[in-house]
Structure 1
């Protein structure tokens, strides 16, 4: 299973790395608009007055979520960024407002400082290496988002949204019992409701 996942991850990330600057810029704008509309729809359906929305801060060739963060903040949503403190352990989520300084975390990621309030999100946008239409994601191998959702979902209703380029889609993501399904997948081409 590990070799299959490693090979799929490598191939999918290689495709993602081929996305041009112009394509990436256009995709970020599309995903920001669709992401805000989806948050509004989820909040209305669930009766959330003010949902806490976690959005990842992009690294490497990940689809750029900074326009989504800005758009959500401009609409008045409370935005939180994930903070990674240990592999295979749940994330912590700290409040973030565009313009806040970020610090380098222990794994080299840009994260809110420890003095920012922590809270559990109601809606969570997740990065990924590959995805399928059943709602399964292949991450980077650390098991962090699976551990996070496994901890959050028994405590509260959490909507998980995978964010990726359409080129990262695969027919079938190999799964294991601990793998958590996503509720939606958002690409520059479409919003996918897993079946």
Structure 2
């Protein structure tokens, strides 16, 4: 059964959202023409940054993943007491994303509740299903493994957001579907959101639009690189 046959329901990580809505832009933007110019620029940047990441060797990608895992572990220890007893949302890596699953398993063993984000309904906030190393994953759309529908739904305290690009102020250039922004806008209390990706993917700006929500910080293989600017 396709998503359309099932009433528009999806079960897949948000990193495929750009393939759901590749021309996504916020119709409430102040200047629609400017918003479309930004959308065209972002599409080109996404293609460039995705190609650069996919061109990395397996060894280089693994090295970056280990470095990010180390920095993330240190961050969780320093700011969240290791995150024991908290809900931590990771991600299932695809399209050259850096594999943090060993860290997810380690956190589970240390008493952290681990979840994965899932797109269940098109153009709606993500839901978060519990994951453990023993979880029997099922195939969602695009044949991507996801926790099964009967897995416990959770509200994350800490959430990772893989990115293609990033800029100062902890802004993330994501995959183009707007799902993570919708989720941050809807979740109360809002989780501590951490962008995950390459140091070399830094951009001078992503040209933030009204729908863009800054993350709490950006984490790369070089460590913490940018934090959300405090409100005046």
Q: Secondary structure at the match of 1:73?
A: helix
Q: Secondary structure at the match of 1:147?
A: helix
**In the alignment, what sits opposite 2:162?**
127
**In the alignment, what sits opposite 1:39?**
76
Identify which of 135, 158, 162 aligns with 2:195.
Answer: 162
**In the alignment, what sits opposite 1:64?**
99
Runs of 4+ in 1 over 6 A off after TM superposition: none
**In the alignment, what sits opposite 1:13?**
50
Q: Secondary structure at the match of 1:84?
A: strand
User: Take 1:175 and 1:88, find their aligned partners in 2: how far apart are those partners?
Assistant: 20
Q: How far did 1:6 drift?
A: 0.6
**In the alignment, what sits opposite 2:221?**
188
Deviations along 1:35-67, one digit per CA (max 9) or x if unpaired, are 12212333249xx76110000111111111212
- Residue 29 and residue 116 in structure 1: after superposition, are their counterparts in 2 closer, same or farther (change >3 A)? same
Quick check: 1:15–1:168 contact (8 Å CA) kept in 2?
Answer: no
Gaps of 5+ in 2: 1-37
1:85 and 2:102 matched: no
Larger Rg: 2
Gaps of 5+ in 1: none
User: Take 1:180 and 1:68, find their aligned partners in 2: how far apart are those partners?
Assistant: 26
Q: How far did 1:157 drift?
A: 4.0
**In the alignment, what sits opposite 1:53?**
88
User: Take 2:190 and 2:39, find their aligned partners in 1: how far apart are those partners?
Assistant: 31
Q: How far did 1:167 drift?
A: 2.1
**In the alignment, what sits opposite 2:29?**
none
Q: Name whichever of 90-99 and 68-77 sits farther off.
A: 68-77
RMSD: 1.8
- Residue 17 and residue 49 in structure 1: after superposition, are their counterparts in 2 closer, same or farther (change >3 A)? closer
User: Take 2:97 and 2:56, find their aligned partners in 1: how far apart are those partners?
Assistant: 10
Q: What TM-score, normalized by structure 2, do the two folds share?
A: 0.77
Quick check: 1:90–1:147 contact (8 Å CA) kept in 2?
Answer: yes
User: Take 1:49 and 1:56, find their aligned partners in 2: how far apart are those partners?
Assistant: 18
Deviations along 1:127-183, one digit per CA (max 9) or x if unpaired, are 11211122111111111101111111xx11410000001122211112211111111
